Amino acid sequence: MTLTEYLAEDRVVTDIRNDDVRGILEQILTPLVSRGSLAAQEPVLAALLAREKILSTGIGHGIAIPHAISASIPEPQVIVGVSPDGADYDSMDGEPVHVFFVLLSPPDRAGHHTRLLARIARLGRDPAFVEGLRSCDDGRTVIETIAEYERMHA
């Protein structure tokens, strides 16, 4: 199982601006709804915000992994948001977040969801991974960078 199996260029947003948590998540989800990659934004946004109320998914080192399990999500999805200048996301280390991995799964795929979370967290520990993604300016290069790191850290 690799992240790139769940990624496509239309699931990458490379111009995330600093905003509050809701605003950042809206920036990531809105283009997906307009492109048809996500059927409805509000139930997914509500599920992500409910998770953020428990504990920030800003895990540190420039990465956040907002995630949700919801019946409104038909299949597992990975969405990547890149903030070249960084965004305040109440990260555990207090530092700006540059890369957002949004993971969405239906309830019947909870185990799969956990494995994808672990994979993202493992890759995110490498500062060069975050820097590589931070410098990407389109979906194709984001996916290529992720694929390269997955090959190196299989």
pTM of the predicted model as reported, rounded to 2 decimal places: 0.93
Q: What is the pLDDT of residues 92-128, one digit of tens each?
A: 999 999 999 999 999 998 888 899 999 898 888 888 9
pLDDT confidence of residue 14 = 93
Average pLDDT over residues 7-33: 91
Residue 91 contacts residue 60 (beta carbons within 8 Å) = yes
pLDDT confidence of residue 78 = 92
Q: What is the pLDDT of residues 25-77, one digit of tens each?
A: 999 998 778 877 677 788 999 999 999 999 999 999 999 999 998 888 888 88
Go through the domains of the chain in sequence order and give each one's CATH number: 3-152 (3.40.930.10)
Measured between alpha carbons, how far is 73 from 112 in angstroms, rounded to an integer? Answer: 14
66 contacts: CB under 8 Å, gap ≥ 6: 25, 48, 51, 52, 57, 100, 101, 102, 103
